[in-house]
Chains A and B, each alone.
Chain A
Amino acid sequence: MLNPRKHKGTLVLHEAELPGNIDALIRKAIAGENNIKVIAYTVIPVTETGLRRISELVLEKYSKSDLLPTVAMILKELALNAAKANFKRILFAMRRLDLENDADYERGMRDFKAAISEEWAIEYGRRSKQLNRRVEILFSYNAERLLINVVNNFPLSQKEEIRVRQKLAAAMQYEDIGDFFANCGDETEGAGLGLVLIMTALKSYGIDPHAFTIYVNAKDQTVASLEVPLSSSYQIRRHRLPHITQQEKT
């Protein structure tokens, strides 16, 4: 165990610690309803296993284990996507490409898609750590709801924000992945397939798709946020606080 520590009521675990035996730490944090934060750079299968285990134990506490497949699937998508966003920024910076310039963006994404591989991800995970391009996954929970925030420590660029808004709006409309492919053809990389699967999984469990949002917070961090209702009386933020969530980039 490298450095599991608890401060301000939050158990903080680093990606490198996740292959270890962390059950006792997680159980203790859950017993006290303390937040759990995982700090990751690469998001490899052991990271996913650790995140899944945390979700499993939290849901078990509130007798909501049936939600685990949905939560684990969404969490995997969000964590991988956040790591990918960091890698993309590093690649663009190394090649002196501007995210806001359309020609640069197209070229950068072409290079990015061509380069992506397991070995490349390990290397870019190292670079992410050196450059402190981190992904933070925060679990906060009580008997009413499980809130999972996946945070990148940089804001979306203006054009990224527009693209994310468009993909989210489109994902809300698709009935299923068949609809998505009928509209997008075979060029699906980066087209929002992950968002479509997230929306479909939420609907499958009767959870309002608006429980999933993406926004830039006051600290200029990009946050992908998922609220999972754990009690039948719980209302998601969008319904409770519409004036606040309208300001967020959903």
Chain B
Amino acid sequence: MKALNIEIRVISPETIVLDIAGDVNIYNANDLRREFDRHMTGGTRNFVLNFGKMTMIDSAGIGVLFTILNRVKNLPGKVLIVHARPNVVKLFEITKVAKFFNLLESEAEAIKILETVPATGQN
């Protein structure tokens, strides 16, 4: 059984939601990177990451998140994180990763941000 599962929901031609379930780590971080690459090549510039079923993430996974964050800034686009579990929020806080990402309560909140604020490259 795989430790990581990623499902994609297309919200609009420019926006997708990634439902990430399981543990993101050095062994599977490339799977996440490939999903980002595939959709960016296809024209996606806004990524909503649903962490609701994500149990943990290590430095390799965080590295992928930063890479995509840096790349969408130039499009411009956005990376928004929703439903992060308390242990992941805590990890983001103690490693100061939290200050670089929007951690939101709900997907609706994320979609609203993407609808009302045109992507400016400011994530």
Which residues of A approach B to under 8 Å, CB–CB? 44-45, 48, 69-70, 73, 76-77, 80, 84, 116-118, 120-121, 176-178, 181, 186, 188-189, 193-194, 196-197, 200-201, 204-205
Contacts and interface: CB of A to CB of B under 8 A. Distances in A.
B96 to A, nearest CB: 4
B100 A178 contact: yes
Given A84-B26, A118-B4, A204-B94, 14 more contacts: A45-B3, A45-B22, A48-B56, A73-B95, A80-B26, A117-B30, A118-B2, A176-B99, A177-B97, A181-B66, A188-B63, A188-B67, A204-B93, A204-B95
Contacts of A120: 27
Contacts of A193: 59-60, 62-63
Contacts of B25: 45, 76, 80
Given A69-B90, A118-B2, A186-B71, A194 B59 contact: yes
B56 A76 contact: yes
15 contacts: A45-B3, A45-B56, A84-B26, A117-B30, A118-B2, A120-B27, A178-B100, A181-B66, A188-B67, A189-B60, A193-B62, A194-B58, A200-B96, A204-B93, A204-B95
B57 to A, nearest CB: 10
Interface string B65-104: 0110011000000000000000100110111110110000
A68 to B, nearest CB: 9
B84 to A, nearest CB: 13
Contact of A70 (B3, B94, B96): B94
Interface of B: 2-4, 22-23, 25-28, 30-31, 55-56, 58-60, 62-63, 66-67, 70-71, 87, 90-91, 93-97, 99-100
Contacts of B55: 45
Most chain A CB within a 10 A radius of its CB, from B3, B4, B71, B95: B95
A97 to B, nearest CB: 20
A116 B96 contact: no
